Homo-oligomer: A and B are copies of this chain.
Amino acid sequence: MEKINIMINGLPGNVAKTMARSGITDNRFNVMPFSLTGQEIEDKTITIDQMRFELVKPDVRDEKIIRIKRQFNSFITIDYTHPTAVNSNALFYTQNQIPFVMGTTGGNREQLEQVVKKSSTPAVIAPNMAKQIVGFQAMMEYAANTFPGLFEGYTLQVSESHQNGKADTSGTAKAMVGYFNQLGANFDVNKIQMVRDPEVQRKEWKIPKEHIAGHGWHTYTLTAPDGSALFEFKHNINGRDIYVSGTFDAVVFLMEKLNKPDDSKKLYTMIDVLNRP
């Protein structure tokens, strides 16, 4: 099989670095030596596992992309940039007809979707690229729609632990709370217990030392009013490997779509990737 050219945008960010490192050793891909980055980044290049990447800033990207497209006549972009860049990047990709996988969260999501839908450029957009978590969320959504009120009267407790650098509440936890609310368990997202203290993470949560700097652990507990029943759901992710695997699956999925250009649908989610035959 021919290798798929991929451009990983968002270097020198941590997630983009992880994607680059894994992409370089993945036989399915040919990682391109360019990465779109923010205007504030001072370095002009970055070297990852002996491969040098040119960092392309917003003020030069319009002319640079012409030369990149001359060199690689077909490629797919992976976007792990910054929430503030989400919408302008999507516009840039669609205007230049660069199919993309967008793993960056934040930005104006509705605008993001509209831009892709109106374009001729296919894209996979997902705030969470971990296939198993996406599948679990789909399960919860199904239950919420099919059995509203099933947990009427139950008390919900939600706690999540992430690396110290993560300031906001887990978006996945917030989405889950929405499903639990539909299922009848009243709960305010502001009551989500956020754990960011490395000591608590190591001692109480027993999170492996090597993942204190990068993890996402979630626990949802439903308790019946009379204490007669307890339901608990956990999804604990260590490191970033699960996101790499999902992102690369999305790239392969997109390539398949590009090879079948009769499909008029342009906007895909990880659910589409999961449902790939």
Evaluate whether A235 and B229 lie within 8 angstroms (CB atoms) in the complex, with A150-B131, A274-B147 already known.
yes
- Interface segment among A4-12, A50-58, A81-89, A134-142: the answer is A134-142
| Complex: chain B residue closest to A240, CB-CB | B228
| Complex: chain B residue closest to A223, CB-CB | B236
Tell me whether A241 is interfacial, beta carbon within 8 Å.
yes
How many residues of chain A have a CB within 8 Å of chain B?
34
| Complex: chain B residue closest to A238, CB-CB | B228
| B236 pairs with A233, CB closer than 8 A | no
Specify which of A139, A150, A234, A275 lies most central, judged by the most chain B CB atoms within 10 Å of its CB: A139
| Complex: chain B residue closest to A183, CB-CB | B135
Note all chain B residues with C-beta closer than 8 A to A228: 237-239, 241-242
Q: Which residues of A226-251 have CB atoms within 8 Å of chain B's CB atoms? A: 226-239, 241-242
Q: Which residues of A contact B (CB under 8 A)?
A: 130-132, 135-136, 138-140, 142-143, 146-147, 150-151, 222, 224, 226-239, 241-242, 274-275
